[in-house]
Amino acid sequence: MIVFHITSPETGIACELQQKIDQLTKPKGSLGALETVAMQIGLIQQTLSPVLQQPVNIIFAADHGIADENVSKSPKEVTRQMISNFLNGGAGVCFLARQHGFRLIVVDAGVDYDFPPDLRIIHRKIRKGTRNFLHGPAMRASEMELAMQYGADIVTECHEGGSNIISFGEMGIANTAASSMWMTCLADMPLAACVGAGSGLDGEGVRHKQEILQAALDKYKGDRSVLDVMRYFGGYEMVMAVGGMLRAAELKMTILVDGFIMTNCVLAASKLYPEVLPYCIYGHCAGEAGHKKLLEALHATPLLHLGLRLGEGTGAICAYPVVSSAVRMINEMHSFSKASVTKYF
């Protein structure tokens, strides 16, 4: 298994950062979350004047064997169809990436389809979809290890290209089902609290989904270790995202976290390496059931509450202007002394 060398940001600069923020021409604490984010990025980058460079959003795409149990409203072929939509610039994440200057990378992590080799995606297919975890492990240990390595390597390439802030998205029908299994096992919450509508199931559909997932959980005889849960219930795109997040933290990049699925990937990553957490900024609280509880379990405060539940990295990119504003605040606002303003608090 790939080994990461992640260290939490040094805190020696924290007092200077706080002093700089407090000396800006505003009442102390009056810019709320912007001040918190500026402090966090300053610590990540170990500077009083942080910068954001070449933001990237990586979409990992893969199919899930559990989709055969009708736990999603969307058919499995939507995964490959959406890849074409990403490449043609027509998906939700595409207009947001254009608006906010994100480079968009699409990775075939395990889609049940043969894409042309010259397609403008990164070809890292592990297998044509995971196995159905109702009947056994979704993937082999060797497949999980390879997915972690692929995810890490792609982030390394982004970093070498000049990026210091990165977000992750996913595409894979039934990946909310896999995420619910990670959440119930790794956050030690009742399955019912972790299961939601996904791409639009009605009440009966959610009940069926929960019944299937409960049956799979009842059959599971593993040790509930992080790696075993990831292997047994996960998707290739999810494991690649975990590897990507851990490498990003190792490289001291800022990680913008998207919704329910990507927050579960943070959960898994943090169970392996708790030091990943200080590098994570949570973009939003998704409309998917369970995300609010998962954020609370991670002691995470999301920047936005827009009712989003699309995935793809959309919520993370939506939050980027807030992060950018935090960096502009600490760099562009004048201090009381520079502006010749009397402190008024």
Q: What span, in angstroms and rounded, lies between the C-alpha atoms of 260 and 288?
A: 7
How many whole angstroms separate alpha carbon 115 and alpha carbon 123? 9
Query: What does the alpha-carbon distance between residue 332 and residue 189 come to, in Å, rounded to a whole number?
Result: 44
* Mean pLDDT estimate for the chain: 96
Reported confidence tier of residue 289, pLDDT bands at 50, 70, 90 = confident
Active site residues: 312
- pLDDT confidence of 254, banded at 50, 70, 90? very high
Residues 315-337, mean pLDDT to the nearest whole number:
97
Q: List phi, psi (to 5°) of 284.
A: -160, 165
Provide the percentage of residues in the chain whose pLDDT is more than 70. 100
- Beta bridge partners, 335, equal 24
Confidence of residue 197 (pLDDT cuts 50, 70, 90): confident
Q: Which two tokens stand for residue 306?
A: 């827009």
With 0-12 / 13-18 / 19 or more C-beta atoms within 10 angstroms meaning exposed / middle / buried, residue 230 is: buried
**Which pLDDT score, from 0 to 100, does residue 167 have?**
98
* Closest of 144, 138, 130, 128 to residue 222, by C-alpha: 138
State the average pLDDT over residues 105-124.
Answer: 97
Q: What is the pLDDT of residue 177?
A: 96
Query: In the prediction, which pLDDT does 105 show?
Result: 98
Distance from chain centroid for Cα 123: 20
Provide the pLDDT confidence category of residue 198 given band limits of 50, 70 and 90.
confident
Q: What is the CA radius of gyration of the chain?
A: 20
Contacts of 288 (CB under 8 A, 6+ apart): 176, 196, 197, 198, 259, 260, 309
Helix/strand/coil (H, E, C) string of 41-99?
HHHHHCCCCCCCCCCEEEEEEECCHHHHHCCCCCCCCHHHHHHHHHHCCCCHHHHHHHH
Query: What is the tens place of the pLDDT at every residue in 270-282?
Result: 999 999 999 999 9
Per-residue pLDDT at 93: 97
Higher per-residue pLDDT: 88 or 198: 88
**What's the confidence (pLDDT) of residue 178?**
97
Quick: pLDDT tens for 125-184.
Answer: 999 999 999 999 999 999 999 999 999 999 999 999 999 999 999 999 999 999 999 999
Is residue 15 within 8 A of residue 306, CB to CB? The reply is no
Task: Give the mean pLDDT of 224-248.
Answer: 98
Q: Is 202 exposed, middle or buried (0-12, 13-18, 19+ CB in 10 A)?
A: exposed
Whether pLDDT at 61 is above 80 = yes
pLDDT for res 260: 96
- Decide if pLDDT at 124 tops 80: yes
Q: Which domains does the chain have, with CATH numbers?
A: 14-50+329-339 (no CATH), 56-322 (3.40.50.10210)
What sign for the dihedral angle of Cα 177, 180, 186, 188? negative
